[in-house]
Structure 1
Amino acid sequence: MTIQSTGYNTANTNRAGMGTGPVLASSTLNGENVRNASGEDLGEIKDLMIDTASGTIQYAVLSFGGWLGMGDKLFAVPWNSMRLDTENHCLVLDVLKDRLKDAPGFDKDHWPDFADTTFTNRISSYYH
């Protein structure tokens, strides 16, 4: 992850890493490693889901499991459940690896309807 040379103002950021610091291209986060607070590898960011009405990131699509990209399970993780760790160049999701394995997920051929309130409520309650 490359942050602009102006630095990243972590003192003025919220849990999702948004604040008064420099902006990032969404492509910068694709492929970014995700770890939990214990440092366990939870996978990597495959995509970001953006609310077209507000222009804000609502979910990061996290790829976890599988081998060499095959058999990965995908998870929609609320963006506000993650934080950007610029020191270790990763995103941090405060969830145990075993809990993530049991999280509601999907595969690359069967994406959920992110506009479905039943889906979004289920995801939100799982991670908060």
Structure 2
Amino acid sequence: MRKFLLTTTLALPMTFGVAFAQDTAPAADPAMEPSETAPMTDMGAAPAADPMATTDPVAEETDADEAAAAASAAEKVEVQQAANEWRVDWITGTNVTSPTGDDIGAINDVIVDGDTGEMKAVIIGVGGFLGIGEKQIALPWTDLTVNSDAQEISADLTQEEAEAAPEYVFRDQEAMAGDTMSDPAMGTAPAADPMATGTAPAVDPMATEPAADPMATEPMEAETMDTDADTMETTPAPAN
């Protein structure tokens, strides 16, 4: 009996403490509780596709055409100059020297083989002063020695030989088929001037002769001005 009372005495304070703790616990904030109706957002999910962002089939086709054209062009053109290749403007304007180092003249033009595309000769201006009165001679390309990446060109030709060499004869460029205007040999009559006609100029209806001045009368003849002397005499009045 004593043991039972002791157990009861110890249990009552513990029960009272638990009940007091439940009564004094703060009420849960409904704003902090997750809503049962709000969907849970997965932060790792991919963003939803934009329904307005649609692919343009025309743009895709254009890009494909440009890519195909670029790939085709890359097979038909040269893309880089090789170390053993020279530009034409490196050659034109360069002075050609003789074996003794004398200047023969500057290269003005290049002659190219129309069948093989190879360079046949260079045109050098010899003599003259500042390009006036100089003579054009041609040197075979195979007889030239090109050094320092086309910055120095020499020939097996002395300055005296260059001055005595015959002048190179150029030909006229052939006219295109059907192009009669560019052929200087075609002597065409000048076009007739549509304003120059063989008929007399038309009379301008607005250009009339000036009207006669009504105040300008012809002078009276002298005969009409001369009156008869007899008619000018007056009859004397009768005497009273």
Verify same fold: TM over 0.5: yes
Deviation at 1:81, TM superposition (A): 1.0
- Quick one: which of 135, 155, 161 aligns to 1:73? 135
**Deviations along 1:73-122, whole A, 9 cap, x unmatched?**
0001111111102189321011111111111114xxxx434xxxxxxxxx
- Aligned counterpart, 1:3: none
The amino acid that maps onto 2:105 is G
State the alpha-carbon separation in 1 of the partners of residues 143 and 149 from structure 2: 19
How many residue pairs match? The answer is 91
Whether 1:56 aligns to 2:118 is: yes
In structure 2, runs of 5+ residues without a counterpart are 1-81, 172-240
Whether 1:22 aligns to 2:22 is: no
What is the identity percentage for the equivalent residue pairs of Structure 1 and Structure 2? 24
The amino acid that maps onto 1:69 is G
Q: Which has the higher contact order (CA 8 A, sep 6+)?
A: 1
Q: Residues 88 and 22 from structure 1, CA distance in 2 versus in 1: closer, same or farther, beyond 3 angstroms? A: closer
The amino acid that maps onto 2:94 is E
- Quick one: which of 151, 159, 175 aligns to 1:97? 159
- Aligned counterpart, 1:86: 148
- Aligned counterpart, 1:13: none
Indicate the structure with greater helix content: 2
In the TM superposition, structure 1's runs of 4+ consecutive aligned residues that sit over 2 Å from their partners are none
State the alpha-carbon separation in 2 of the partners of residues 97 and 42 from structure 1: 5
Whether 1:31 aligns to 2:93 is: yes
Deviation at 1:28, TM superposition (A): 1.3
Q: Which moved more, 1:40-49 or 1:83-92?
A: 83-92
State the alpha-carbon separation in 1 of the partners of residues 138 and 98 from structure 2: 16
State the alpha-carbon separation in 2 of the partners of residues 37 and 75 from structure 1: 18
Higher Rg of the two aligned structures: 2
Aligned residues: CA RMSD: 2.2
State the alpha-carbon separation in 2 of the partners of residues 37 and 97 from structure 1: 9
State the alpha-carbon separation in 1 of the partners of residues 97 and 125 from structure 2: 12
Q: Residues 88 and 27 from structure 1, CA distance in 2 versus in 1: closer, same or farther, beyond 3 angstroms? A: closer
State the alpha-carbon separation in 2 of the partners of residues 21 and 105 from structure 1: 34
Deviation at 1:69, TM superposition (A): 1.0
- Aligned counterpart, 1:112: 170
The amino acid that maps onto 2:119 is I
- Corresponding residue SS for 1:28: helix
In structure 1, runs of 5+ residues without a counterpart are 1-19, 114-128
State the alpha-carbon separation in 2 of the partners of residues 59 and 68 from structure 1: 23
TM-score, L = length of structure 2 = 0.35
State the alpha-carbon separation in 2 of the partners of residues 56 and 89 from structure 1: 20
Indicate the structure with greater strand content: 1
